Amino acid sequence: MIRKLVRQMLTAQVFSALTVSLCLLIDSVMIGRFIGDDGIASYGLANPLLLAIGAIGSLLAAGIQVVCSRSLGKGDQEETNAGYSSALVAGGGISLVFLLAALIFQGPMARAMGAVGNETLFQMTKGYIAGFSIGAPGSMGSLVLIPFLQMAGQSNLLIVAVLTMTVADIALDLLNVLVFHGGMFGMGLASAISYYMAMAVTAIYFCSKKCVFKFSLKKVTRKKIRELFTSGVPAGFSMASAVILVLLINRILIAMDPVNGGKTELAAFSVITSIGNVAQCINTGTGGVSLTLAGVFFNEEDRSSLKELIRLLCRYAVYMGLAMGILLLVFANQMVSLLIPEPGKTQDMAALGLRIYSAGLIPVCILSALKNAYQATGRIGMNIFTSLAEGAFFPVLAAFIFSRFMGSTGIWLYLVVGELLTLACIAIFTRKLTGKHLWQDDACLLLKSDFGVRPENLMEADIQSVEDVMSVAQDAEKFCLERSRNSRLGNHISLCIEEMAGNTILHGFTKDNKPHHLSVRILRKPKYWVVRFRDDCRAFDPVHYIPREGKDAVGIHLVLALAEEARYTYSMNLNNLALRLPADDEAPAEENLTNS
C-alpha cells in the first residue's frame, strides 16, 4: 500500500510542481523572445523578491503539512480544522501586507535587488515587481491550499488547477506582448491573474459540502498560527537559503563585468535557473511526499513504514534525477534557444551552465527526501543544517572559489558541488551518531533507538479476502493471548477485525472493479492496545455514520462499544480507523457491552 500511495502522491506532486515551474518558464520565454536580454536580466534581478514571498508561503505550507499530518495521524479532525482555519487567515493577512509594501516601495526594492547603474534594468525590474505583487494573495493562497488538497486526496483537482494557471498565463502573456504591449509590468500582471484563476478552481472543492476541512473564525488562534509557522521554520530556512543563493551569485556575476553590470552573465544565470526550476519539479515532489507521509508514519510510531518510505523515495530520486539530467544534457541548446533566440555569448554560456547544472539533480532529490523526513520526525537541527548547507553555504562557496580560476564556468558548478558536499557531511554525521553507513537499515533517518513499538509488541497484516479476515483474526487473538493475562482482550480484538475488516472486504472492495488494499496493525502499549485499519476504498466513516438496522449496524455498534476510543480520518484517499482498547484488567465488563 505504501508503494502505491507514494507513486500516486509523487506523480501528482511532481506534475503540479512541473506545471507551476512551466508557468514561470513561460514568462522567461516570452520575456526573452519579445523583450530581450534586458528583460531576462531584470527578471533575474527581481527573482529574489519573488522567492521571498514564496519562502513565506512555503514556510506556512510546510507547517500545515507537519501540524495537520500530525493531527490526522492521531485522528483528531478538530485540530486539523483549527490548522486549516488559522492557515487561511494567516496566509491572507501576510499576502495583503506584502502586496501593499511592494506597490509602495517598488523602486527601493528594485535597487536593493541590484538594479543600479542601468536605468533600463531598473525600470523593467520595478515594473515586474509591481505587476507580480498584485497576485501575492493568489500565489500565497495556492501554496497554502495545496497541502490540504493533497491530504483530502484531491490530486485530480490539483492538476486541473495548475493546468488552468499555466494555460491562463500563456494566453495572458501573449495578450500582453502582442496586443497591450505592457512590458515587464504586464508580464508580472499576467502571472498574478493566473494565480487567482487557479484559486478559483480549487474553490470548487473547498466551498463544497464534500470538503473534509471546516473553516471557522472561532478556531483561529494565535497559538495555532504560531504553531504552524514554528513547525514550518525549517522550510523557511530552505527558501531563505534560495533567496540568499540567487542574491549572492548575482553579486558575483555583476562583479565579473562591472562595466556592463554583468548583463550577459545575469541573463545566462536567469535562463539556467528558469529551466532548472522546471527540472527541480522532481525535487519539489519528492520533498512534499516525504514531509507529508513521514509526518503521518512518525506519529503512528511506524518505524518500518518510515524506512520503506525513504527507501522508495531515494530510489525514485535516482530514476527521476537521471532521466531529467539526460534531458538537460542532450537538449540544453534547444531549451536555451527558447529563451534566448539569438546565437551568441549569452546563449553559449547558458547552454554550458545548464549541462553542468544537470549533474546535481540526483543528489538534490535524495537530499530533499532526507531533509523533509528530518523535519517530519523532529530532527529540526538536521533539517536546518541541510537547508543552509545545500541551499546557500556550499553552493556560494563553490561558486566563489571556482570562479577565481574558471570564470563564469566555475560558477555553474555551484549546484552539484554544494549537494555532494552536503550529502558527504550527512553521511559523516550519521556514521558518527549511529555507527552505521548512511544507507544501512534506517540509519539515514537518525531515529532514536527506542522509537516505535518493539517488534514483539507489534503485529501487521494485509488482507485481501474474507478468508484472510478469518485467518488474521485468529492470529490476532493468539498474539494477544501470548501477551495479556486478560483472556477476553484477544477475543475482543479478534471480533473487531472480523467485523471491520469483513465489512471493508464485502462492501468497500466490491464498490468498483479496481484492486484495493486493506492493512491491519495491532500495537501493544503499557495501558492500552491500538488496532488500526487502513484501506484505499471509497470514504466511509463508521464512527459518525451507523446504519439503523441490519447485521452491519450491529457489528459496527459492537466494535465501537468494545473500544474506549475510536478515531476516523480520511486523508490521502485512505480510510484510517484507530480503535483503542483498554489493557488487561481495565477491559470493559461484558455486562457494560450488553447494555451499551
pLDDT, residue 315, reads 93
d(CA 456, CA 534): 21
Domain boundary among 382, 417, 445: 445
d(CA 395, CA 326): 22
35 is a domain residue: yes
Query: Which are the contacts of 344, defined by CB distance < 8 A and separation ≥ 6?
Result: none
Query: Which are the contacts of 419, defined by CB distance < 8 A and separation ≥ 6?
Result: 360, 363, 364, 367, 390, 394
The CATH number of residue 489's host domain is 3.30.565.10
Among candidate residues 180, 184, 187, 177, the one with its CA nearest the CA of residue 34: 177
d(CA 109, CA 129): 8
Per-residue HEC secondary structure of 160-204 comes to HHHHHHHHHHHHHHHHHHHHHCCHHHHHHHHHHHHHHHHHHHHHH
Q: Are residues 413 and 510 in the same domain?
A: no
521 is a domain residue: yes
d(CA 433, CA 427): 10
Instruction: Check residues 485 and 576 and name the one with the higher pLDDT.
Output: 576
pLDDT, residue 596, reads 37
Q: What is the pLDDT of residues 204-232, one digit of tens each?
A: 888 888 888 888 898 989 899 998 888 87
Helix axes 155-175, 136-151, angle to 10 degrees: 160
Is the pLDDT score of 189 beyond 60? yes
The b/e string for 295-312 (b: 16+ C-beta within 10 A; e otherwise) is bbbbbbbbbbbbbbbbeb
Amino acid residing at 394: F
Domain boundary among 415, 445, 475: 445
451 is a domain residue: no
88 is a domain residue: yes
Strand partners, 565: 580
Q: Are residues 502 and 574 in the same domain?
A: yes
Location of C-alpha cell 546565437 = 343
Mean pLDDT in residue range 538-546:
74
Q: Are residues 354 and 252 in the same domain?
A: yes
Q: Are residues 428 and 550 in the same domain?
A: no
- In this structure, the strands spanning 574-582 and 565-571 are antiparallel
Q: Are residues 383 and 517 in the same domain?
A: no
Among candidate residues 331, 320, 234, the one with its CA nearest the CA of residue 280: 320
What mean pLDDT is reported for the chain? 84
Location of C-alpha cell 466513516 = 541
- What phi, psi does 459 have (nearest 5°)? -130, 130
Q: Are residues 400 and 465 in the same domain?
A: no
Q: Are residues 273 and 404 in the same domain?
A: yes
d(CA 271, CA 263): 12
Location of C-alpha cell 507514494 = 6
Q: Are residues 439 and 520 in the same domain?
A: no
Instruction: Check residues 233 and 423 and name the one with the higher pLDDT.
Output: 423
Q: Are residues 436 and 354 in the same domain?
A: yes
Q: Is this structure's pTM higher than 0.95?
A: no
Is the pLDDT score of 550 beyond 70? no
Q: Are residues 386 and 527 in the same domain?
A: no
Among candidate residues 580, 486, 501, the one with its CA nearest the CA of residue 537: 501
Is the pLDDT score of 443 beyond 70? yes
Assign 540 a pLDDT band (cuts: 50, 70, 90): confident
Give the DSSP H/E element, type plus range, for residue 295: helix 281-299
Percentage of the chain exceeding pLDDT 90: 22
319 is a domain residue: yes
**Which of 142-146, 394-398, 421-425 has the least mean pLDDT?**
142-146
pLDDT, residue 78, reads 84
Residue by residue, DSSP assigns 316-384 as HHHHHHHHHHHHHHHSHHHHHHHH--S-SHHHHHHHHHHHHHHTTHHHHHHHHHHHHHHHHTT-HHHHH
Strand partners, 459: 522
Q: What is the pLDDT of residues 40-70, one digit of tens each?
A: 888 878 877 777 777 788 788 878 877 887 7
450 is a domain residue: no
Q: Are residues 408 and 515 in the same domain?
A: no
Assign 546 a pLDDT band (cuts: 50, 70, 90): low
CB of 353 within 8 A of CB of 268? yes
Please count the structural domains in the chain. 2
Q: Are residues 121 and 260 in the same domain?
A: yes
Is the pLDDT score of 594 beyond 70? no
202 is a domain residue: yes
Q: Which domain holds residue 537?
A: 456-595
